[in-house]
Amino acid sequence: MAVLLFVAGMDRLGVPLYMLLLVLASVVGIWASTASEQYFGRHDDGRIVIDEVVGQWIALTPLVLLHSLPLGALRLPGLPFFPESGIDLRWFLVVTAFVAFRWLDIRKPGPVKWAEDRFRRGAGVMADDIVAGGLAAVAVTVPAFVIVSIRWREMVKDTLVAIQDWALYLGNGLA
């Protein structure tokens, strides 16, 4: 659900509004998780999902920062079941965010487990997913940085070639 809401338009909200939404969802999540624990009589009951939503949105945050950048596509020649344009790299990063968050949330390595154990009630329900989302955001940032660096290098190269061609054209016109 969190990823569907994100790709349906949340990535176009802009950084300030997106961050405000994350903070509000986190505060509501702590309150709702505390109330749900009291109602269900269990800590971190499986029916509580707002923690997963917030964690996933945190993992997707780098894509909000990259929204206006054309990331391009990964071309896969010789594979007839992929369109000519290839696989959109934005989707690659969405899948990376989803998988990284789920892995961190399920396995609960170091800081994720610490956050889960450190806080009580609703804050404890939300904390491990917030930390897992933050770590997943780092996992998304690394390939995003590589993709943006490659695209920037290609853009600079194309610009330099265009300037060189323009200079040659002007030079030939003056001769």
| CB-based burial, 105-124: b 16+ in 10 Å, e otherwise | beebeeebeebbeebeebbb
| Structural domains in the chain (count) | 1
pLDDT digits (tens, 9 = 90+) for 2-36: 888 888 888 788 899 999 999 999 999 999 999 98
pTM reported for the whole predicted model: 0.79
Q: Is the pLDDT of residue 81 over 70?
A: no
Report residue 173's pLDDT band, with 50, 70 and 90 as the boundaries.
low
Higher pLDDT, 103 or 159: 103
Range of the domain at 16: 2-174
At 58-76, the pLDDT tens digits run 999 999 988 777 777 666 6
93 burial level (CB within 10 Å; 0-12, 13-18, 19+)? buried
